[in-house]
């Protein structure tokens, strides 16, 4: 009977092959899609000065096709990012620095959206191992999700703290919150409550966090906001004051 390690290794190999094939299929779709978009752009130029009602109708239909091509392009890009087998380049990292970097990037957009950013970052956090770019991508996905939950503005609280076996990061928004059905499916690929959304942002974020040996959970209630919590382990070989 095969042992657990052998079974896990076979599952990883199968997943890797499926991800490779899915990525190759997405790339094959992108090529003709790009051709369609280019020809729609050329047709739009030809009908740009529509002089008759018929030409105006044709131009409107061209614009619909162009818009749907753009939506498919965005979906394929999100899918390729989701399907990618992340080979992490782990480095000793200060989690607070990653949080500050994300908030600095998001700051102008938050101000425009009338969202107040509040941070409570622990001054005594142990160092963790992160692929900084991959983790930053996951963090920004969560921040942007919070923004979309607060269309009329609000507050986003970000806090870090130590745990018994690692570190934790909370992102708490004062947005619309989620009902039970949404909470149960929010991390599923292609599930989205947003019109035109791909439903891959949060599932990709969870995949990246779990690839770091961490986990993500949420608490939410309709009309009362949402809290995402990320927990990351401390590598045994890194002292708590490593830099």
Long-range CB pairs of 49-54 (<8 Å, 24+ gap) are none
Cα 242 from chain centroid? 29
In this structure, are 221 and 124 located in the same domain? Answer: yes
Place of tokens 């130029």: 45
Question: Pairing state of beta strands 226-233 and 166-173?
Answer: antiparallel
Residue 130: CB atoms within 10 A of its CB come to 24
Q: Which CATH number do you get for residue 63?
A: 1.10.287
CA distance 228 to 90: 23
* 28-37, 53-62, 136-145, 231-240, range with greatest mean pLDDT: 136-145
CA distance 204 to 82: 5
Task: Pick the more confident residue, 209 or 201.
Answer: 209
In this structure, are 185 and 218 located in the same domain? Answer: yes
Task: Pick the more confident residue, 207 or 231.
Answer: 231
Task: Pick the more confident residue, 78 or 137.
Answer: 137
In this structure, are 45 and 115 located in the same domain? Answer: no
Is the predicted pLDDT of residue 6 greater than 60, yes or no? no
Show the domain range for 21: 4-83
Domain count, the chain: 2
Q: Which CATH number do you get for residue 151?
A: 3.30.565.10
In this structure, are 60 and 114 located in the same domain? Answer: no
Token couple for 229: 């919590």
CA distance 211 to 131: 10
In this structure, are 97 and 55 located in the same domain? Answer: no
Q: How confident is the model at residue 155 (pLDDT cuts 50, 70, 90)?
A: very high
Domain-located, residue 239: no
Quick one: what percent of the chain has pLDDT higher than 70? 76
* pLDDT value of residue 7: 46
67-111 per-position pLDDT tens digit: 888 877 777 776 666 666 556 788 899 999 999 999 999 999 999
The mean per-residue pLDDT over the stretch 47-62 comes to 79
Q: How confident is the model at residue 158 (pLDDT cuts 50, 70, 90)?
A: very high
The mean per-residue pLDDT over the stretch 180-200 comes to 69
Task: Pick the more confident residue, 5 or 172.
Answer: 172
CA distance 209 to 116: 26
In this structure, are 127 and 147 located in the same domain? Answer: yes
CA distance 243 to 236: 15
Domain-located, residue 238: no
Quick one: what percent of the chain has pLDDT higher than 90? 27
* pLDDT value of residue 219: 92
Is the predicted pLDDT of residue 240 greater than 80, yes or no? no
How far from 146 is each of 14, 101, 140, 176, CA to CA, in Å?
A: 34, 17, 10, 9
Q: Which of 6-15, 26-35, 225-234 has the lowest mean pLDDT?
A: 6-15
In this structure, are 99 and 177 located in the same domain? Answer: yes
How long a stretch of residues is the chain? 243
CA distance 233 to 212: 8
In this structure, are 112 and 163 located in the same domain? Answer: yes
Domain-located, residue 64: yes
Is the predicted pLDDT of residue 163 greater than 50, yes or no? yes
* pLDDT value of residue 199: 60
Task: Pick the more confident residue, 211 or 241.
Answer: 211
What's the helix, strand, coil split of the chain in %, to 5?
50, 20, 30
* pLDDT value of residue 40: 83
In this structure, are 34 and 111 located in the same domain? Answer: no
């Amino acid at each position: 009977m095969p042992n657990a390690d052998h079974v896990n290794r076979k599952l990883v190999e199968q997943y890797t092959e499926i991800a490779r094939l899915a990525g190759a299929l997405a790339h094959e779709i992108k090529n003709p899609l790009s051709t369609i978009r280019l020809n729609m752009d050329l047709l739009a130029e030809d009908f740009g000065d529509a002089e008759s009602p018929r030409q105006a109708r044709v131009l409107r239909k061209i614009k619909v096709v162009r818009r749907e091509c753009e939506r498919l392009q965005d979906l394929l890009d999100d899918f390729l990012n989701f399907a990618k087998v992340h080979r992490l380049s782990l480095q000793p990292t200060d989690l607070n620095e990653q949080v500050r970097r994300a908030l600095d990037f998001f700051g102008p957009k938050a101000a425009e959206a009338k969202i107040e950013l509040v941070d409570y970052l622990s001054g005594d956090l142990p160092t963790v191992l992160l692929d900084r770019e991959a983790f930053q991508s996951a963090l920004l996905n969560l921040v942007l999700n919070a923004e979309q939950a607060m269309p009329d503005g609000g507050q986003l609280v970000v806090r870090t703290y130590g745990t018994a076996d690692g570190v934790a990061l909370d992102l708490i928004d004062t947005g619309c919150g989620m009902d039970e059905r949404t909470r149960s499916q929010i991390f599923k690929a292609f599930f989205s409550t947003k019109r035109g959304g791909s439903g891959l942002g949060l599932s990709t974020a969870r995949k990246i966090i779990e690839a770091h040996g961490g986990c993500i959970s949420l608490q939410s209630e309709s009309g009362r906001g949402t809290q995402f919590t990320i927990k990351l382990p401390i590598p045994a070989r890194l002292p708590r004051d490593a830099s």
